[in-house]
């Protein structure tokens, strides 16, 4: 596992799998489950799963987790015409109150940002110090 720390503050994680393939004997019935690699060898369909746990604190341990739900709204564009509209994206904060609320079910069609912040530590603009996961 490689960790790359970028100048922007982003942390990149790279993981590669090494070793030998765990294959099975090839037959026509095995086609949906892998690819033929040699005369009698089937490379099986499989997954590589990596789990990471990070303890990320901002100015102490009084941190909160929220998501910024990305939504779309139709806004009036009265500068152009009285009935003109355009689609505007926006975010709606959703503070998680319990660990059960924080369980994440990934959905590609509903984008969101994951934010960890500390209400007790603010920027000079009175915004809580935070980072996006």
pTM of the complete model beyond 0.85: no
Which is more confidently placed, 17 or 129? 129
Residue 21's pLDDT is: 80
Indicate whether 94 pLDDT > 90: yes
Per-residue pLDDT, averaged over 36-48, amounts to 88
Per-residue pLDDT, averaged over 14-42, amounts to 87
pLDDT averaged over the chain? 88
Q: What DSSP line would sit under 35-94, residue for residue? A: EEEETTEEEE-------------SSSS--EEEEEEEEEEEEE-TTT-TT-EEEEEEEEEE
């Amino acid at each position: 596992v490689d960790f790359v720390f970028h100048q922007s503050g982003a942390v990149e994680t790279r993981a590669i799998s090494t070793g030998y393939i765990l294959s099975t004997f090839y037959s026509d019935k095995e086609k949906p489950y892998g690819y033929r690699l040699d005369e009698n060898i089937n490379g099986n369909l499989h997954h590589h799963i990596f789990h990471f746990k990070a303890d990320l604190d901002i100015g102490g341990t009084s941190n909160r987790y929220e998501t910024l739900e990305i939504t779309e709204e139709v806004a009036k564009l009265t500068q152009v015409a009285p009935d003109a509209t355009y689609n505007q994206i926006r975010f709606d904060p959703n503070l998680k109150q319990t660990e059960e609320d924080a369980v994440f079910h990934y959905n590609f069609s509903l984008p969101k940002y994951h934010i960890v912040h500390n209400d007790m530590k603010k920027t000079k603009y009175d915004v809580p110090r935070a980072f996006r996961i």
